[in-house]
Amino acid sequence: MSQERQAESHADNDSRQTRYWQEWEVAGREIRSVLCVGTAIELCPGKPGFSEAELHKLIAEAQSIMRAGDNPIDLLRIVPEA
């Protein structure tokens, strides 16, 4: 899976790029599929620009992508990007 989303428009007219890609974790004989989400939104509560609603929206969208694929995805990883 290699899926990239275009910039989304936000109420503050800020443009943020959200990227999606898939990785695999191997631990012994266990292989887990990971959906990675690269985002420029602030992820740390208490820091300027953090929005709990925006974070929940990002997670909900990623979970939707996880359920939509033919192959099960085991984990979600959110990666901060500048």
Within a domain: 61: yes
Within a domain: 42: yes
Written as one letter, the residue type at 75 is L
Cβ density class 20-45: b for 16+ within 10 Å, e for less: beeeeeeeeeeeebebbbbbbbeeee
Within a domain: 29: yes
Q: Are strands 2-4 and 18-27 parallel, antiparallel or unpaired?
A: antiparallel
Within a domain: 49: yes
| Tokens describing residue 79 | 């990666």
What distance, in Å, lies between the first and last C-alpha atoms of the chain? Answer: 23
**Domain limits at 30?**
2-6+22-80
pLDDT (tens digit, 9 = 90+) per residue, 1-39? Answer: 444 443 343 444 344 679 999 999 999 999 999 999 999
pLDDT (tens digit, 9 = 90+) per residue, 25-77? Answer: 999 999 999 999 999 999 999 999 999 999 999 999 999 999 998 888 999 99
Count of structural domains, the chain: 1
Within a domain: 35: yes
Within a domain: 31: yes
What is the value of pTM for the model shown? 0.75
CA atoms of 23 and 49, how far apart (whole Å):
29
Within a domain: 16: no
